[in-house]
Amino acid sequence: MKREDVRNVAIIAHVDHGKTTLVDQLLRQSGVFRENQQVQERVMDSGDIERERGITILSKNTAVSYNGVKINIIDTPGHADFGGEVERVLKMVNGVILLVDAFEGPMPQTRFVLQKALELDLKVIVCLNKIDRPNARPEEVTDDVLELMMDLGASDEQLDAPFLYASARDGYCTREPNETGTDMTPLFETILSDIPAPEGDPDAGTQVLISTIDYNEYVGRIGIGKIDNGRIAVNQEVLLMNHHDPSKKEKVKISKLYEFDGLNRVDVQSADVGAIVAVTGIPDLHIGDTLCDPEHPDPIPFQEITEPTIAMNFLVNDSPFAGQEGTYVTSRHIRDRLFRELNTDVSLRVEETDSPDCFKVSGRGELHLSVLIENMRREGYEFAVSRAEVIYKHDERGKLLEPMEIVYVDVPEEFSGTVIQRLSERKGELQGMSMGADGNTRLEFSIPSRGLIGFRGHFLTMTKGTGIMNTNFDGYGPYKGDISFRKQGSLIAFETGESVAYGLFQAQQRGALFIGPGVRVYAGMIIGQCAKPEDIELNVCKTKHLTNTRSSSADEALTLTTPKILSLDEALEFIDQDELVEVTPETLRIRKRQLDSRLRKREAMK
């Protein structure tokens, strides 16, 4: 049976091509908001970090009504580090809206998300967004998208995808690039005509595949999934199973059932085939589980999620200032929080190590892990993290393999030589070079993932903030040899105390400082970057000795250069193998792993 009154669709795209803005307009024009209601931009990006960084991190569910049809919409992340979010939600939908910037054209993540949609044989609607942009080139980008679909092995039916042209910001969509649009009606109509209605057997046993987990302090875990067969109701007894874990068979009861309506979850007593629902009352619910009829236990397979490629250690903070700023500081607190994250993040891995105070956390990239660190920090956790390391593998013959990335760089022509040189130093191989539509040079590199660790900050500096860099995981390849990462050493505090202007004035002649006067420091804490390759210890707490002799320069004011205050991402990029970032709710500090200078020298000699 087909549910003609329901459509399930996901919006997929490269980062910053306008997915969340498009959802805003669909909500607005379907009457979810009152005409005079004040609504913030990108209303679906509800997390603080999402709003601050301007990116979507978690996929979100919403629903609108158009001509009596309920359209369930899933807004997905566009950044490669959160690709796992896209992979799992595509199981809930029957089609996708592929959003492509009418100026930039298909980008690396466009290829990734489109490939996943085509593999699942989903119907695609292509929507070229930002056609109001100066220099927009919708006709050329249409050809580029068709070429990409052919490259990815799209079927004839998929290649016959409808193309629409939109400005999500201005709230209109058209069927032809040169038409003048007034609203989103063509997109609504295309969803109804081209996205298949969900199918299923209403008389069969219940089957609901859980694709997303949310959490609420009052009701606990909330599982979100699509009803593939049968129906589900409040107080119904179901069997909790997992296709990939045959031992999991647990009888559970549905305590509450919700459907989506606009930005809200609405209580319902029952739901039928094709509906996307949220269920509560099941404590041991995980992504990939199936809720089945106890009489017909038949779990649904869940697609394999791409494995993590990068790992870092999360450690209990043992610095002299430990426990002074955080609420949750013990290994038990950190362990519980990390394992709780596994409930909602399918791309993350957490492993215990030989030390009870250290946990190995693996993810899809530096941004993936830095968002987790920032969330924990805001929740009151205090801990330390090590430098990110890539995860190696061995082939059948025992040969070492490492994760590889395809890097796409768009830079003004004058910076292309510097970028090529720096990426080549990090074992990058230039695969292609072309001139972009905006006059920038586009470079395509194959590079080991470890070659990109700590590179983004240098890249922005060397291109004066004008360069754009996108990466895409490209499988595992043979180990490329050693890479020399940091060419400059660290400036290290010699003693514990408070930094003073006189001590900092002497220190700034040795390199760039990360702190100003009046900052508490401890021995072994890194207070700046040395201008030379070696580490140097400095006493920034030193005050000027008073004597009876007065020099001619005694009354001159000390001029301090403005310190470079590192963000979390910059601190994670800066640290070397023997250094840690100390993370507290109030402060970020960089320190040597071994705080005692004598022991550090002894280890260096070994």
Fold topology of 6-194:
Rossmann fold (3.40.50)
- pLDDT-derived band at 31, boundaries 50, 70, 90: low
Give the range among 377-391, 435-449, 584-598 with minimum mean pLDDT: 435-449
Q: What is the pLDDT of residues 284-304, one digit of tens each?
A: 888 888 899 888 888 888 776
Quick check: 96 and 9 in contact, CB under 8 A?
Answer: yes
As a whole number, the mean pLDDT across the chain is: 84
Q: Return the residue matching tokens 């992979």.
A: 87
Same topology between domain 6-194 and domain 207-292? no
Q: Is the pLDDT of residue 490 over 50?
A: yes
Mean pLDDT for 593-598 is: 89
Q: What is the pLDDT of residues 323-340, one digit of tens each?
A: 999 999 999 999 999 998
Q: Is the pLDDT of residue 85 over 90?
A: no
Q: Is the pLDDT of residue 181 over 90?
A: no
Angle between helices 185-194 and 19-29 (to 10 degrees): 100
Q: Is the pLDDT of residue 57 over 70?
A: no
Residue 46 has what pLDDT? 43
Mean pLDDT for 224-231 is: 89
Mean pLDDT for 403-421 is: 89
Residue 42 has what pLDDT? 42
Structure tokens at 253: 């009861």
Quick check: 92 and 225 in contact, CB under 8 A?
Answer: yes
Distances in Å between the alpha carbon of 423 and those of 403, 447, 456, 476?
A: 16, 8, 11, 19
Residue 36 has what pLDDT? 44
Q: Is the pLDDT of residue 419 over 80?
A: yes
CATH of 393-478, one of 2.60.40.10, 3.30.70.240, 3.30.300.130, 1.10.3860.10: 3.30.70.240
Angle between helices 455-462 and 413-425 (to 10 degrees): 150
Mean pLDDT for 378-384 is: 94
Domain boundaries, the chain: 6-194, 207-292, 393-478
Count other C-beta atoms under 10 Å from residue 455's C-beta. Answer: 22
Residues 6+ apart with CB under 8 A from 385: 312, 313, 314, 315, 373, 572, 580, 581, 583
In terms of pLDDT, which residue wins out, 319 or 51? 319
Count other C-beta atoms under 10 Å from residue 414's C-beta. Answer: 11
Residue 50 has what pLDDT? 44
CATH code, 207-292: 2.40.30.10
Mean pLDDT for 83-98 is: 80
- pLDDT-derived band at 548, boundaries 50, 70, 90: low
Q: Is the pLDDT of residue 582 over 90?
A: yes
Q: Is the pLDDT of residue 352 over 50?
A: yes
Q: What is the pLDDT of residues 498-521, one digit of tens each?
A: 998 888 888 888 889 999 999 999
Q: What is the pLDDT of residues 433-460, one digit of tens each?
A: 888 766 788 899 999 988 888 787 778 8
Q: Is the pLDDT of residue 96 over 70?
A: yes
Q: Is the pLDDT of residue 47 over 60?
A: no
Residue 34 has what pLDDT? 44
Residue 37 has what pLDDT? 45
Residue 300 has what pLDDT? 86
Quick check: 393 and 476 in contact, CB under 8 A?
Answer: yes
High-pLDDT (> 70) share of the chain, %: 90
Q: Is the pLDDT of residue 465 over 90?
A: no
Q: What is the pLDDT of residues 114-147, one digit of tens each?
A: 888 888 888 999 999 888 888 888 888 999 999 9
Q: Is the pLDDT of residue 40 over 60?
A: no
